[in-house]
Structure 1
Amino acid sequence: MQDSFSLDEDDLSLINVMQIAPRATWTEVGKVLGLHSATVARRWERMTEQGVVWVTAYPNLALWTEQCCLAFIEVDCQPTARKQVVDVLAGVPQIASVSQVASGRDLFLVALFTDLQALSRFVLDYVSQLPGVRGTRTRTATRFYSEGNKWRLQALSPDQRAHLARHNPQTSAGSRSSHEGFRDLLLPLSSDGRRTAAELAALTSTSVSTTRRRLERMVRESLVSFRCEVSDIISGWPVHAYFWARVPAHELDRIAQTLLTLPEIRMCAAITGTDNLLVIVWLRSLGDSQRLETRLAERFPTLTLTERAIVLRMSKRMGWLLDGHGRSTSPVPVNPWADMMDSANAARRSLDPSHGDVDRQLGGLPPGTTTAQRMRPARAPRDA
């Protein structure tokens, strides 16, 4: 992976298009940007090879919060064990994101579970028992107002954005139980959200027509979220922070919805605990943190910020491992349905090689499979 590279305005515009329409064909993308389809495909391939952009997929977080269990877990570590603990937790498929943060906790995890019992087993019987872990605190989401796939670079003109809007599929609320084939399709899409129906069919041993029908239904019923992720070093918003707040219960929905109009807001969720609102923000500088707090105090007098924490390093973001510059290195697909005991045993083995063998590794992979080997996506340019 290259350590230096430069992006021009066409590259940034291409990224913005992919944020709005992650699965648009190169022909459609080229029409928006006024470039040949082969040119935009070549540009995208270069950027993905550099790890500065990538497209992933995962369960719709708002729907998952309503129907299953989404948790925010804080972990305190012994200083000398932090890296080991991070490496272990980043390999667990139920954990979507891992941040190393300052102020009040060492690690901050975003994790998806099928139910509260699965979360309880994970925190009490697994994370708390890991060598080097000194303590945990867990909050569950009660409502998801916005997630990172709504964040934009704002590199397109209004006309270009309007043109893309015509390609957005019509969606409806999904059912409580995911339909046939949802899990099988989600995992390969996590490692490359632009996989074609033909590629997905080959990976799942299903016909192309059946795969296309299932994929269209997943999108139509909002079961899956596609996201074009951007490396910190090119986003223009390199400082990430968590804000915890208390809001009167009767004003929570109104204030949360209004917060979403602010460009700094990356994610917003109602949570359990003493604080009832969690906000993830992206900032252009450390000084912007104080300026944002001042704006929030002026605009929302009933909102009380109780705590804030700056992210020192994002080690995993929505199923992708990152390097120290926030560039993608390899996928660990988000899989809330992975066998909990297999996940625990595999992770413990990475800390203690003497730990007994398991029948399957994380997410159902064969014993001995490394993180870097997990469903590494093909890089060849193509229409999705």
Structure 2
Amino acid sequence: MTPEGRRRLLMGRLAGVLFLTSSGLMLIALPLSPEDASIPGTIAVAASGVGVGCFAMFAPWDTWPRAASLVLVPPAFTLIALGNLYAGREHTYGVFFVVAFVWIGLAHGPWTSLAAAPLAIVAYLVPFFFLAGDVETGVSSVAVTIPACVMVGEVLSWGSSRLARTEEELRQERETAQGLKELADMKTAFMSAVSHELRTPITICRGHLEVLEPAADRAEIDETVALVLDELGRMGRLVDDITIAVRGDDPSFLRKEPVRIDALTARVARKVQPFLNGRLRVQPVPPDAHLEADPDRLEQALVNLLQNAAVHTPEGTAVELRVSQARKAWLFEVEDRGQGLARGREDEAFERFVHGPTSQGSGLGLAVVRSIARGHGGEAGVDNHPGEGATFWILIPR
């Protein structure tokens, strides 16, 4: 429920409490009624007040517009007028009007009390024309009482509106501060993860270079150089992945061109052959199927999905790559028969530096996939079946 909805519900229930309390006071005061009071009439007014109060207590004000509770104002003034009419000569006209205008001021915006004033004047004056008494006194009384009630209602309304604006500004400031804190935490976590991922190859390079003797033979030097070059390549790939994960969802980062889908899937199949060991099954694609995309980035995204499938599926289990037409888009799917993801971790799998239980990678593979998909105006996700496998997909607009 929104804060505004809670406030509407609170004001509606407050109206219900006021109706029920006023009706109860009328019934309690019956033994003190003057001789000309109408007991049946007063009981009927109190019963009507109880009915309206129960409605106000249980109505779903949070789902209705704020102005909906104004429907309670005419019954309130009508019951006040009837209560004064049946109460006889000795009654106080203004008390319940003050209560009504206090509620109007708390529940509604500025000028609402002023708009309700004509109805209140009528409700105030009508009993004077049916009871023995001085009508002129009633007129002079209404000239003081109703303006005072309107003033109270408007002051409360303006104060409540100002308070509501202040609370909304404070809420927005708290949300901004929370967002900045979360951003700072994400930045810290990101830098920590990057440092950790880069530290490993740097440490390996440094360790091998430090133990390399000046008089080392050619074979040992060649082995060390090969290892250092391999680790430098690993760092380069990591930096590329970080760049894509951060900037890949920016369309200006991509170089789009017409891409034949059958040629794309063939290149991907050749590239992943070494680590899938013949387990990949590629569904045929019509030779005329094509789309506008960055071929290198899209190929990288599909390779990442297939590498992820290779890591998380048992040896000898088939992995399927298929492409189909969705509504105004091409759907690329990689289906495996592994254990799937833990339930509830589907979105977390696409976060940066999130590792699966059997993965030794950087934790950027799926983050890169989603970033590339969004850069193309599409999306990436997973249809997860825990214990049975998962189907990771990329949706690229045609």
Normalising TM by the smaller chain, what interval? under 0.3
TM-score (norm 2): 0.20
TM-score (norm 1): 0.20
Q: Report the structure, 1 or 2, having the larger helix content.
A: 2
